[in-house]
Amino acid sequence: MPLVTDNWEFEKGDLCGFMTQGMCMVAQTFDAFRGTYVFHPVSGQFFAVLDDPRRIDGDGARIVNPGDPKPAALSQYTFTPDVSGQTTLAVDGAILECHNVTVEAGQALWFHWAFARFDWSPANDFAMFAAYDGSTANEPLYKVYLAQSLELERQGRWYTHWEAFSWRPAKRFCGTLRWIVANGISTSIPLPRPGGDARPSALLLDCIALA
């Protein structure tokens, strides 16, 4: 399992051992919306940041420079009901994944995560974790929605603090792990709408481990 033995705290200062789609990077600090909070690593010097909310123009549209990775297409992660009881259309964002991961029976996978929103209603950007025992084009064996921006907005918050999460599969797991952050828009009519890809939010990760 390369992410645990080689780079589980991202202390190589890169994303060695992981595959990425969209904008993913390692950082030593990260500013929430308008500097309302500054994130630091849970442990060590680095953590991972999925997507880059700073790379937008005055209208909130993404700035993609030559050579930049294209945002990950995430329509497969559209879900219902969301925190508003409607459908959140997933548009684009970023994925961090690791292949050939084994979690033995009785073990738990742990990681720390935080979510920073840079959007507001009707947008519902979200972060999730998924485990696949087959193709990632299929429904995952396990998935959990870590955060939805509409829920934070209702609480008057722009970010979560670092939180610990664990997954203990019922039996031996071998497959692909994915961490996903997506631009989304909450709607009662599940049809594509303009602006769904504006003002991306960010998912932060640190300290991935087996116990």
pLDDT digits (tens, 9 = 90+) for 59-104: 888 888 888 999 999 999 999 999 999 999 999 999 999 999 999 9
The answer to whether residues 26 and 96 touch, using CB atoms and an 8 Å cutoff, is no
Q: Is the pLDDT of residue 166 over 70?
A: yes
56 pLDDT band, cuts 50/70/90, is: confident
pLDDT at res. 180: 98
Q: Which fold does the domain 2-210 belong to in CATH? A: Jelly Rolls (2.60.120)
The two beta strands, 126-132 and 173-187, are antiparallel
Average pLDDT rounded to a whole number, residues 98-121: 94
Where are the domains positioned within the chain? Answer: 2-210
Q: Is the pLDDT of residue 211 over 60?
A: yes
Does the N-terminal peptide bond of residue 200 adopt cis geometry, omega within 30 degrees of 0?
A: no
188 pLDDT band, cuts 50/70/90, is: confident
Q: Is the pLDDT of residue 191 over 80?
A: no
Q: Is the pLDDT of residue 193 over 70?
A: no
- For residues 63-92, one letter each, b for 16 or more C-beta atoms within 10 angstroms of the residue's C-beta and e for the rest, the string is eeeeeeeebbebeebbbeebbbebbbbbbb
Half-sphere exposure of 197 (CA within 13 A, CB side): 19
pLDDT at res. 206: 97
Q: Is the pLDDT of residue 4 over 80?
A: no
Q: Is the pLDDT of residue 196 over 80?
A: no
Q: Is the pLDDT of residue 57 over 90?
A: no
153 pLDDT band, cuts 50/70/90, is: very high
The answer to whether residues 22 and 71 touch, using CB atoms and an 8 Å cutoff, is yes
**Predicted structure pTM score:** 0.93
Query: In whole angstroms, what is the distance from residue 152 CA to residue 169 CA?
Result: 29
pLDDT at res. 189: 79
Helices (H) and strands (E) in the chain, counts: 2, 13
pLDDT at res. 35: 86
Mean pLDDT of the chain: 91
Q: How many CB atoms lie within 10 A of CB 187?
A: 19
Query: In whole angstroms, what is the distance from residue 34 CA to residue 46 CA?
Result: 22
3 pLDDT band, cuts 50/70/90, is: very low
Residues facing 47 on adjacent strands: 27
